[in-house]
Structure 1
Amino acid sequence: MRVDVLVFDGVDDLDVTGPFETLSMARRAGADVSVRLVAEDERTAVTTAGGLRLGPVSPWSPVVADVVLVPGGGLASSQRPGVAVELGRGQIPAALREAVRPGLVLASVCTGAFLLAAAGVLGGRKATTHHMTMKALAEAGAEPVDARVVDDGDVVTAGGVTAGLDLGLWLLERFHGPEIAARVARGLEYERQGAVWLAGSVA
């Protein structure tokens, strides 16, 4: 499983590092998983909302990914880097829209869901985001679900901030089985939180 984490200036620190570490640990647990940071432009590093410099950042190449994971951060203000600025620029939503193909899973953490919505992939789809922005998610065309992770097939969304850990673990379970996910959770010393909503059932 190859996971590309799409980053941008103003991204929330834990939205990126939570799932990144979770997925990176899977290789040490025996799973064929690779994870990297990518950007839709040619930058080689980004600065998070907390001031953390992240890199190296690889070029955007979703055709070779199994999962493109979109973190959130900075939805509330367009006066500083973050999701609101990226929505205004429109380049990330356009890149995500063009990336859609059979076999590719688009995933998001927190307000990264709004970049998926702007790409047109959440219309009428079950999804989740940070609890404070659920109403706005409905206004963006999704059908909000009160769950930690929502798996709607080729679109998988997670709630706010720390839910990125549960997203990473769910992706491991979905692609590599519950034993790998459990092994990574033990390594993280993390107890999985909340429910995973699946089309037709709750895991």
Structure 2
Amino acid sequence: MNRRNVLRAQVAVGAAAALGGAAGVAAAAQPSPAGKPAGPLRVHVVLYDGVEELDFAAPYEVFCAARFFTDREVDVRYVSTSGPGVVRAAYGTRVTVEHGWDPRAADILLVPGGGYARRDSPGVWAEIRSGVLPKQLAAAARSGLTVSAVCTGTMLLAAAGLTTNRPCTTHHKARPDLEKQGGLLKNGRVVDDGDLVTAGGITSGLDLALWLVRRELGAEAATGVEAMLEYEARGTVWTPPCAGRR
């Protein structure tokens, strides 16, 4: 464990203690919810040129922090359809992607947004015009995989045909486009339709990831991450009526 992880672990224990003394400390290593797989939770965050920094960094941080509040292994990695290399994000941040495209090795595929207002620049529109990422997303769908998107990342799912006649949401300026493409718009901050989970708004990546942590690793893990990050999930999570598993 490197120095950064040591420091984070110390913060995690402090956060757990703040949640309720000895009981809170015990919450830092809660087992996975009943019925959930015992193997690692594998999260692949998709990167491409022009991706919004907050869209991918916030969920990445949440899932990584969740490791301290569950006994289930959490494997979080950046992936790209172009394979390992360097991605230049919307505000110029350069991110090294060490892993290639391998959605069959993922439990959650998370697609950030970015650049939707700049049609001639790198970002969502460029990826839609290229067609490579939408095609790969369409081919990735399978039983056992949750495909999720932050903000205008949902428009990449729409281009892949994954939101047609499905409850979903996106950034408020892209909502008319999403509806035209067959998405069933819902007004939740996060819209959970089982194997399709979307969130609307740039900062909604925090709420999407916290919801998925809660769903996959349990409420104790989610509240532990909230305490560690000093952030409380906001907005409504829309789920289908009579969604008994939630």
Q: TM-score range by the shorter chain?
A: over 0.9
Question: Shift of the alpha carbon at 1:105?
Answer: 0.5
Which residue number corresponds to residue 165 of structure 1?
206
Across the aligned residues of Structure 1 and Structure 2, the Cα RMSD in angstroms comes to 1.3
Contact 1:114-1:140 at 8 Å conserved across structures: no
Structure 2, unpaired ranges of 5+: 1-40
**Secondary structure of the equivalent of 1:108?**
strand
Q: How far is the alpha carbon of 1:78 from its aligned partner?
A: 2.6
Partner of 2:45: 5
8 Å CA contact retained: 2:80, 2:97 = no
Q: Is the 8 A contact 2:69 2:220 kept in 1?
A: no
3-state secondary structure, aligned to 1:55: strand
Query: Per-residue deviation at 1:146?
Result: 1.1
Counterpart-to-counterpart distance in 1, 2:126 and 2:238: 30
Aligned length: 203
1:61 corresponds in structure 2 to 102
Name the CA distance, whole Å, in 1 between partners of 2:222 and 2:83: 33
- Does the CA-based 8 Å contact 1:87-1:115 persist in structure 2? yes
Computing the radius of gyration over CA atoms, which structure comes out larger, 1 or 2? 2
Three-state SS of the structure 2 residue aligned to 1:107 is strand
Residues 1:19 and 2:59 are matched in the alignment: yes
In the TM superposition, 1:1-203 aligns within 5 A as 1-30=41-70, 31-200=72-241
**Contact 1:134-1:144 at 8 Å conserved across structures:** yes
Give, in angstroms, the shift of residue 37 of structure 1: 0.3
How far apart, CA to CA, are the structure 2 residues paired with 1:177 and 1:5? Answer: 21
Distance 1:103 1:165 in 2: 23
Q: Distance in 1 between matches of 2:141 and 2:97?
A: 25
The alignment-based identity, stated in percent, is: 45
Unaligned runs of 5+ in 1: none
Using the size of structure 2 for normalisation, the TM-score is 0.80
CA distance in 2 between counterparts of 1:191 and 1:135 reads 29
Distance 2:118 2:182 in 1: 21
Normalization by structure 1: what TM-score? 0.96
CA contact (8 A) 2:79 2:101 kept: yes
Shift in Å, 1:201: 6.1
